[in-house]
Chains A and B, each alone.
Chain A
Amino acid sequence: MRLRFILGEVMNGLRRNATMALSVVLVTFVSLTFVGAAVLTQMQVDNLRADWYGRVEVSVFLCPEQSPDIQCATGLATPAQEAAIRDVLENGAVSSLVQKPVYYESRDEAFEKFKEYDADNTYATLTADQMQASFRVKLTDPEQFEVVADAVRGMSGVDVVRDQREIFSGLFSLLNALTVVAAGLAAVMLLAAVLLITTTIRLSAMSRKRETNIMRMVGSSRGLIQLPFMLEGAVAATLGAVMAGAGLWLAVRYVMEDWLRQSVPYVDYIRGSDVLMVAPWLVVAAVALAIVASLATLGRYTRA
């Protein structure tokens, strides 16, 4: 009986306040889309980081013949120096962080690779002697770059130690900035959503003053008086959350999975299933939002 009564009241309220309810749906839809987008962007960043960091190498460049750098004043790295460096990487304190065997790229190999990139011979005057030999080290844990670098940096024969992750840092900064923007917009929109739900509940409570007064008079519990209003906000907000989830899923499924994956194939994109993991939390957030807004409003409009 009570359940039927409550549901009836909720439907009545939504119907009577249809435009307000619709605006709550739309505002929560937009705000939670931004929230979801921020979360998904971060998931994408984490994906990329795990994927690319696993592939990237630490390059230990060895001294070339003529170098302006002070640490290479003694000239070309000798085979003994090279052996010492390899020994540190493969058998030293950092060996557990290094995937073995460590790959050695000679000056000739470096020159061959360079010529592949320089197909139109812009640097035709360059010779193999001017190239740097290097150790290419894959790390078991890319985050431990500094430890490995410190172990070999300063050894004689080492010119510079370079982390390829630096190449991606720009991209990651951009993605992080996008996350911040999305989160900022989400915060503003969420505030708008809370205010709008508050107003909607207030209007609804005022338009049903007669009912709630009678309910108080005949001894209805405060919970039963307030619940329909809270549910009204929660239903509208949930609808918005479901729409946000659906919108994000469609975007990821058809834009990222189908289109981006084909045009830019070497990236590990987030999937529709990732959205399905985020979506329930959007619904939880919507309901929490509605409850906070109603608690803030109802006390004053349906006093016992």
Chain B
Amino acid sequence: MFAAGARGADHAGARREWSPVLASAVLTMPVARVLPPVPKAAVIRLDHVSKVYSRGARPALDDVSVEVERGDFVFLVGSSGSGKSTFLKLILREERPTAGEVHVAGRNLNKLSSWRVPHLRREIGAVFQDFRLLPNKTVFDNVAFALEVIGKKRHHIRSMVPETLELVGLAGKEKRLPHELSGGEQQRVAIARAVVNHPPILLCDEPTGNLDPGTSVGIMRLLDRINRTGTTVLMATHDDEIVDQMRKRVIELRGGELIRDQDRGVYGVEQS
């Protein structure tokens, strides 16, 4: 709580400068709800989950129970070492829980055999702070790569990739290489790659961590637009400005424990 508060104070100056931009951006976002409201169902469920990496060490996650429903937009906040990364890794089944059960997209990950893991990951798009693009491939090829390696047909790729690049606002930049793009554009490529296969879940690990505030606004507008098509978005972040402005559900971890789960929340609890 203190860490979060201190962080908020650090950024107070910066926020005054750009928050109007963000506010207006969020307000003017196209509210085109194309899909009828879907019945609510938990797409991610953690049931009394604990994770201990090495015996005797402090648990990275300690008896955490959370449900994320389909179509939710959830911020996962907390200082470094609070367990955010472990939370995401458990959902991606990069790690297995020490205790408790993890359910993702209708699968019990405790019982998921390792050869089924790739099928789980096809249902989860992932975006990271460091973009993770292939430097020697063009924008088009970077996005197409995600479809190629899961065996999609070429004509399918030819139609899906331009459509997705259009969605993220990179139409016309298909032939650029990553180093010819700005940070925000690179992150858009990474987002395009994550959603090109239409996964029901999008995990974002500090997607704006390397971007300046103005660019972050654009990325958040994009994530919001993707969320409005029915994709569940779970975003781990340190960016208090964004959390405070977006007013979405906030899950806060501290020392591996879930200390807050709040609808339309803000970054630091004392500010609410």
- A interface with B by C-beta (< 8 Å): 1-2, 5, 210-211, 213-222, 224-225, 304
Q: Does B33 contact A (CB under 8 A)?
A: no
A218 near B134 (CB under 8 angstroms)? Answer: no
Highest count of chain B CB atoms <10 Å: which of A1, A210, A222: A1
Q: How far is A15 from B134 in the complex, measured between Cα atoms in Å?
A: 17
Interface size on B, residues (CB 8 A): 26
Q: How far is A214 from B144 in the complex, measured between Cα atoms in Å?
A: 12
Q: Do A214 and B146 form a contact, CB below 8 Å, given A1-B154, A219-B120, A219-B121?
A: yes
A218 near B115 (CB under 8 angstroms)? Answer: no
A218 near B122 (CB under 8 angstroms)? Answer: yes
**A1: which B residues are within 8 A, CB to CB?**
148, 151-154, 157
Residues B185-236 near A (CB distance < 8 A): 193, 197
**A304: which B residues are within 8 A, CB to CB?**
114-115, 117-118
B134 near A210 (CB under 8 angstroms)? Answer: yes
CB within 8 A of B118: which of A2, A213, A220?
Answer: A220
Per-position 1/0 for B141-176, Cβ under 8 A of A:
000011011111110010000000000000000000
Q: How far is A224 from B123 in the complex, measured between Cα atoms in Å?
A: 18
Q: Does B119 contact A (CB under 8 A)?
A: yes
**B193: which A residues are within 8 A, CB to CB?**
214, 218
Q: Do A219 and B119 form a contact, CB below 8 Å, given A2-B151, A214-B132, A214-B134?
A: yes
Number of A-B contacts (CB under 8 A): 58
- B interface with A by C-beta (< 8 Å): 92, 114-115, 117-124, 126, 132, 134, 145-146, 148-154, 157, 193, 197
Q: Do A224 and B134 form a contact, CB below 8 Å, given A218-B193, A304-B114?
A: no
Interface residue SS majority, chain A: helix
B150 near A210 (CB under 8 angstroms)? Answer: no
**A213: which B residues are within 8 A, CB to CB?**
132
**A217: which B residues are within 8 A, CB to CB?**
92, 121, 126, 132
B132 near A210 (CB under 8 angstroms)? Answer: yes
A218 near B149 (CB under 8 angstroms)? Answer: yes
A218 near B146 (CB under 8 angstroms)? Answer: yes
- Known contacts A214-B145, A217-B132, A218-B197; 13 additional CB pairs below 8 A are A1-B157, A210-B134, A214-B132, A214-B193, A216-B118, A218-B149, A219-B118, A219-B120, A219-B122, A220-B149, A222-B115, A304-B114, A304-B115
Q: How far is A242 from B157 in the complex, measured between Cα atoms in Å?
A: 38
27 contacts between A and B (CB under 8 A): A1-B152, A1-B153, A1-B154, A2-B151, A210-B132, A210-B134, A214-B134, A214-B146, A214-B193, A215-B149, A216-B118, A216-B121, A217-B121, A218-B122, A218-B145, A218-B193, A218-B197, A219-B122, A219-B123, A219-B150, A220-B150, A221-B115, A221-B118, A222-B115, A222-B118, A304-B114, A304-B117
A224 near B132 (CB under 8 angstroms)? Answer: no
**B145: which A residues are within 8 A, CB to CB?**
214, 218
Q: How far is A219 from B122 in the complex, measured between Cα atoms in Å?
A: 5
Taking the closest CB of chain A, its distance from the CB of B133, in whole angstroms, is 9
**A211: which B residues are within 8 A, CB to CB?**
134
Highest count of chain B CB atoms <10 Å: which of A210, A216, A220: A220
**A224: which B residues are within 8 A, CB to CB?**
149, 151
**B134: which A residues are within 8 A, CB to CB?**
210-211, 214
Taking the closest CB of chain B, its distance from the CB of A229, in whole angstroms, is 14
Taking the closest CB of chain B, its distance from the CB of A156, in whole angstroms, is 81
CB within 8 A of A218: which of B114, B121, B154, B157?
Answer: B121
Taking the closest CB of chain A, its distance from the CB of B94, in whole angstroms, is 9
Q: How far is A222 from B153 in the complex, measured between Cα atoms in Å?
A: 19
B150 near A218 (CB under 8 angstroms)? Answer: yes
